[in-house]
A and B are shown apart, each in its own frame.
Chain A
């Protein structure tokens, strides 16, 4: 009886999960199949597979050959990777400082560091624009990197702090007795212990940066510094929209996120299941 019940509940759970997966994957599949179709086929039969007459690689051709798409792609990649590097580095270091050392104002500083979770950074756009103009950084990737680093830090610090508090104090003490400096304790002992968290934070921070349209549009709309999301806009004209190219560009843009997710997913699952993200 019990086994039948277990079996039943597992079937139900899997049915629900499967339904959820279908729901989540459907738009992606739609983009992917339509990116291989002619414009006529996209509008005539959006759900049909790209076979025979409807198959067309024109979208990809125009994306790869007739635009600066590879450059946009490179810009996105640079901005995302560099921002991610700084978010992980500074996030982990700040979290280590507030979780490891007792000093006056510790609580205040940790609250100050994570309060950014509650305040959307877009609210400060005007001030940010002022600042970037003042620094002479308009139309540079540096501007985006700085803003994204600031945007990613609060949540990174929050997640890292939770985890670093759980790192055994005795291991760090043991490293101190072994003569390691505080920096080497951080890099050689603490960081290897929280690898799953690094993956978690990396994925959580990367996706909003990669997908962002707002800041590239405002801070770096120049021809040379466009990111993929902004670059795609060139296919959307006032009178015509090149849907094939838009969908092809989006399909290509999904790839890096997907690859990164696959690389990190094992660590990510471990990170989440050990209680990384509380609410």
Chain B
């Protein structure tokens, strides 16, 4: 259990700044997820916390202790990598105990900790195997086990599930969540997958081009995205963005009036989540069905609106449409988001 604090952390490679003035405080036992598109600096920041990259400026504190000048092994962290990074020539037991053996921990203590980790992760039957004899999910469990035996203050995960297939990813996601509930450690988790971020996080940090766009709980980010980028990143399928106009505090889409009491003037962007749209004969949005995707329990309809803009709606699985059908959708104005031209959210009505 520990806190993690980043103070004015900066990173630049030559003239290219990859992390700009990062400020973040992670509480005891919190699971914070860094999310963002590839190349946004989230992995670099994690590697800086781990001590694998130097800081250009700023400080990192774990439990009040400044650690940014310490070597990785003295920081009280453990890291799980995307490619598992197991030692191929050591068996599972050797992999789990390697760091302790190196730190000259007592043999009985090593055995004890390795066995505890193996029990938690269900690795007892695999202890004698080499990494190449394990499946992807098993390898990742060993990698997590290797982090557990070090009894770190902070766990760092660098896209740990990206190499797994879809079904296994869902399974391992739940495993990690269970692990966090059991160990109650402070964890920092990097991913580019917003579903992982939403399901795992106590708080999400959304990155873009080396700076933080928004920090908040998953629901805060979903309900009150700070800007168009966050709104588009969180939620699947992504939020629809429609060009609209705002006059005398009223947002209208062509001739259709949608929301009232918006403090803006001129062109704005209207954000509507696909799941907030419903089929409604008296609805505000009319269009022609272009593609209809049926997933069984739910269906996605891709609509070409009368003014030429495109829209995706998530409907329940009882609807059936064909390309070319006319369709009218309604939306609760309360659930619409309005963004100014710079992308900042103007706020709900």
Chain A positions near chain B (C-beta within 8 angstroms): 168, 170-171, 173-180, 184, 189, 192-193
Q: Establish whether residues A177 and B78, one from each chain, have CB atoms under 8 Å apart when the complex forms.
A: yes
Whether a CB of chain A sits under 8 angstroms from the CB of B52 is yes
A171 to B87, CA, bound (A): 7
Q: Mark B74-114, 1 if CB is under 8 A from A, else 0.
A: 10011101111111110000000011001100000000000
A168 to B82, CA, bound (A): 11
A174 nearest in chain B by CB position: B85
A180 to B90, CA, bound (A): 16
Whether a CB of chain A sits under 8 angstroms from the CB of B50 is yes
When distances are taken between beta carbons in the complex, the residues of chain B under 8 Å from A178 are 73, 98-99, 102, 150
When distances are taken between beta carbons in the complex, the residues of chain B under 8 Å from A168 are 83, 85
Q: Establish whether residues A171 and B85, one from each chain, have CB atoms under 8 Å apart when the complex forms.
A: yes
A189 to B83, CA, bound (A): 16
Q: A179-B73, A193-B88 are in contact. Are A174 and B81 (CB under 8 A)?
A: yes
Chain B positions near chain A (C-beta within 8 angstroms): 47, 50-52, 71-74, 77-79, 81-89, 98-99, 102-103, 146, 150
A174 to B87, CA, bound (A): 9
Q: Establish whether residues A170 and B72, one from each chain, have CB atoms under 8 Å apart when the complex forms.
A: no
A44 to chain B, nearest CB (A): 57
Count A-B contacts at CB 8 Å: 55
B161 to chain A, nearest CB (A): 15
A179 to B149, CA, bound (A): 14
A102 to B81, CA, bound (A): 22
When distances are taken between beta carbons in the complex, the residues of chain B under 8 Å from A180 are 102
A193 nearest in chain B by CB position: B88
27 examples of A-B residue contacts, CB within 8 angstroms: A168-B85, A170-B82, A170-B83, A170-B84, A171-B86, A171-B87, A173-B50, A173-B52, A173-B85, A174-B81, A174-B146, A175-B87, A176-B71, A176-B72, A177-B51, A177-B52, A177-B77, A177-B99, A178-B73, A178-B150, A179-B71, A179-B102, A192-B87, A192-B88, A192-B89, A193-B88, A193-B89
When distances are taken between beta carbons in the complex, the residues of chain B under 8 Å from A177 are 50-52, 72-73, 77-79, 99
User: A171, A179, A189, A192: which has the most chain B beta carbons within 10 Å?
Assistant: A179
A156 to chain B, nearest CB (A): 22
When distances are taken between beta carbons in the complex, the residues of chain A under 8 Å from B82 are 170
A67 to B176, CA, bound (A): 73
A195 to chain B, nearest CB (A): 9
A15 to B150, CA, bound (A): 59
Contact of B81 among A173, A192, A193 (CB under 8 A): A173
A134 to B121, CA, bound (A): 66
When distances are taken between beta carbons in the complex, the residues of chain A under 8 Å from B72 are 176-177, 179
A190 to chain B, nearest CB (A): 11
A118 to B50, CA, bound (A): 43
Q: Establish whether residues B89 and A174, one from each chain, have CB atoms under 8 Å apart when the complex forms.
A: no
B2 to chain A, nearest CB (A): 16
B345 to chain A, nearest CB (A): 38
A189 to B87, CA, bound (A): 7
A174 to B96, CA, bound (A): 12
A168 to B139, CA, bound (A): 15
A192 to B131, CA, bound (A): 14
A192 to B130, CA, bound (A): 14
When distances are taken between beta carbons in the complex, the residues of chain A under 8 Å from B51 are 176-177
A174 to B83, CA, bound (A): 11
A195 nearest in chain B by CB position: B89
When distances are taken between beta carbons in the complex, the residues of chain A under 8 Å from B85 are 168, 170-171, 173-174
Return the 7 tightest CB-CB contacts between A and B, nearest first.
Answer: A179-B73, A178-B99, A170-B85, A174-B85, A170-B81, A192-B89, A177-B72
A198 to chain B, nearest CB (A): 13
Q: A170-B81, A173-B52, A174-B81 are in contact. Are A179 and B89 (CB under 8 A)?
A: no
